[in-house]
Amino acid sequence: MDIVKIQCPNCGAPIERKQGAYFGKCPFCGVEIGFDEMKEEVQFGAMQNRINFLENQDQVDLAHRKALDKWLKGRTIMFIAVFITSFIGFMLVGTHEDKTGTEEFMTGIGVISMLLSFFTLFIGPIVAASVFPGYRSPNMPQIPGENSKLKMWLKLTVTGILIALAGALTAYLLYNIFDIRR
């Protein structure tokens, strides 16, 4: 029997074809190949398989985009909560010579708000980084980077600290610019 070498239409690997054989299988990618008169049908079947794969991949990408959008909304809510609680906490906590019962109560609320801000600042990034769906390009497999969760936690924590400082600075500026006294 004569053996003819051809290229796999799917991966380009060399395939040995025995003379008179109508079908063959690529040893590298496993695609079944039809020879001679069956060639068009086999190519159509391979194209149909590729179309089905791409349609399925589009559904996976859409689900991933939805998960990423949901994660981004949660992250934004976390950062807004850090800013607001930090702002309220620093607005309510102040030092005055005359401490009345109302001012002590407001200072207590401010301290609780600051504690809530710090709790959100340090627990929120841990939770958000652990459920981070990652970024990926359409129709490309996701390649997780080393320590990607740790890197995301670090980014979220640093950003959260900056947002908390922005809330404190905003409270300080409003307190001093508008000369707010309780």
Phi–psi pair at 7, nearest 5 degrees: -100, 145
The reported pLDDT for the residue numbered 136 is 59
pLDDT average, residue stretch 75-99: 81
pLDDT reading at 37 higher than 60 = no
**Single-letter amino acid code for the residue at 37:** E
pTM of the model: 0.60
Q: Note the pLDDT tens digit of each residue in 14-33.
A: 877 776 676 778 888 888 77
Three-class DSSP category at 24? strand
Mean pLDDT computed over every residue of the chain: 78
pLDDT average, residue stretch 71-97: 84
The residue among 77, 61, 58, 56 whose CA lies nearest residue 133 is 61
The reported pLDDT for the residue numbered 6 is 75
Q: How far apart are CA 72 and CA 181, in angstroms?
A: 38
Q: How far apart are CA 116 and CA 12, in angstroms?
A: 60
